[in-house]
Structure 1
């Protein structure tokens, strides 16, 4: 099988490493490559290059999955910023039975090695770092998904102020489905579409939201979608980070997409950090805008198209 570059969700690989491979398949838990790595047959890759994610559990899971797909004796290169997991890479690879050489370059640690004939504790590592139920809500989630081990306070505030909705709606950036579960307590909701860019979130939401009114879509809301139209309502807690840095344009794009997806008179319910400059774009796109609540550094907006 072709070489693999495991990146995209976590930033861009240095060109010097990408150039090691003339042909690559990009793997990521986000659109478009999440399913590719898990679909690889064990020992089917000739090599891979990975920019590892910063979260400890997420990083260990990604490394274990990539090594599972790598052929014995095949080379790999894994790097991470020193302060975002790079200092732990050698120990994590040795725990899986790999002998590695590591170098420091441009504030990164770069580990290189070959896959051993047998990986140590591979299945245990995948079980310890992969999808799981998390208390106190006893919902399915996975390390690396937004707010994977806690209820986000912005979503919690929106849930306490959300009225009983009705008609056909969507949850933009649904995550593991926590907000959708609150929406569906209203029997007047006829259908709800859960959309997220992260395949791990969609898979968790499928387990958490079991309701015949629900459909799921693994999709990138930054891209226009003319199949989203004439909705009665949209709820969202839009993202504002990309690759570990604040990116305010993401939230503005979500708001734009909601305005394109709602019918005339349809409603947007949005929660956002108070410091984010969303109010201006909401007032530009919607006829009426109300700040329904403000607490704990968050604002809740109700906007009518």
Structure 2
């Protein structure tokens, strides 16, 4: 199934001469099938994505040319980089620092994105790598900047990009490790605090859906030593953050990529989540609604789903439709914690 062509890709289509014959590396906020066009223009194409949903959608068409992971390494082998601006500036900095050592001296540095999404900060982003870039195009509320790799590049050190902080969830102390742009990278959010305060002791198997930096799953693993914790997310940076958070706290959990339930093959006594409802610059509910609708099929008999959500989100009707019983077990003016049972 093809994806609608984004405004950024429509602008890039006007500038395809920049990609002809290049050994091109593409990364960032990939949204559509445009890399398939680039594969026909370039000498070679590598697409690197941290988004498992996008990876699954393009894997058949791009084959070995698309890679999903939190890090890409190797010797310099590309003469052009196209970075599609992610929502978080820190993530853009992370991707540039990772990709620059893979580029040959003098390589083209192409940054593209929506004007409201930080692309106008391209000058500062590219400053460590070369002279001031030129603005190649501006169309459909998007812009394309073009620079050149003209400065020495330091080797990429993954460890330097982790933020680390201590937090307290009730009486459970936790050390959190997080890569740029990951949910809970800067501190324990109020919604997750309320969710964790509402949960009783647990046994059996638990699924932490949309695990982010791994706060929920790691806290519950610390509180409930016999609990078998599974943690899933579509973001490779989140998955690596969760692995590090588990490890530094000395607790065990199984962490893996899944587009909603695409890679979930077991049933659980508990599903717990602070589900995402933002994707990039747009508010996006579809994945969370699918998560809620299909949850009963991944719960064991007498299993339960517990989520926290912004009070304005209309999840109660969805939960009432798919579960036998739903109650609000925690609330304030901003959040509600729902407990649903099959």
Q: TM-score, normalised by structure 2?
A: 0.77
Structure 2, gaps ≥5 residues long: 1-21, 56-66, 168-173
Mark the CA change 1:5 to 1:13 in structure 2 (over 3 Å): closer, same or farther.
farther
1:295 CA drift (Å) = 1.1
Q: Provide Cα deviations, 1:47-84, integer angstroms capped at 9, x if missing partner.
A: 22221223222211112222221122232311233332
The equivalent residue for 2:47 is 26
Paired residues of 1:193 and 1:215 also in contact (CA < 8 A): yes
Alpha-carbon distance between aligned partners in 2 of 1:63 and 1:226, rounded to the nearest angstrom: 32
CA distance in 1, matches of 2:313, 2:210: 17
Aligned ranges for residues 28-107 of structure 1 at < 5 Å?
A: 28-31=49-52, 32=55, 33-35=67-69, 38-106=71-139, 107=141
* Distance in 2 (alpha carbons) for counterparts of 1:39 and 1:55: 19
Count of aligned positions: 298
Alignment of 1:116 onto 2:150: yes
Secondary structure (helix, strand or coil) at the match of 2:106 reads: coil
SS at match of 1:182: helix
The verdict on how the C-alpha distance between 1:66 and 1:185 changes in structure 2, with shifts beyond 3 A counting, is closer
Q: CA deviation at 1:98?
A: 4.2
Deviation at 1:300, TM superposition (A): 0.6
Q: TM-score, normalised by structure 1?
A: 0.86
Change beyond 3 A, Cα 1:62–1:187:
closer
Determine helix, strand or coil for the equivalent of 1:252.
Answer: helix
Does residue 157 (structure 1) correspond to residue 188 (structure 2)? The answer is no
SS in 1 for 2:79: coil
* 1:133 corresponding residue in structure 2: 164
Q: Distance in 2 between matches of 1:10 and 1:146?
A: 19
Structure 1 SS opposite 2:164: strand
- CA RMSD between the two structures: 2.9
Q: Distance in 1 between matches of 2:159 and 2:246?
A: 23
Q: CA deviation at 1:233?
A: 0.8
Deviation at residue 240 of structure 1 after TM alignment:
0.7
- Work out which of the residue numbers 274, 278, 281 in structure 2 matches 1:244: 281
The structural deviation recorded for 1:287 is 1.1
Aligned to 1:271: 308
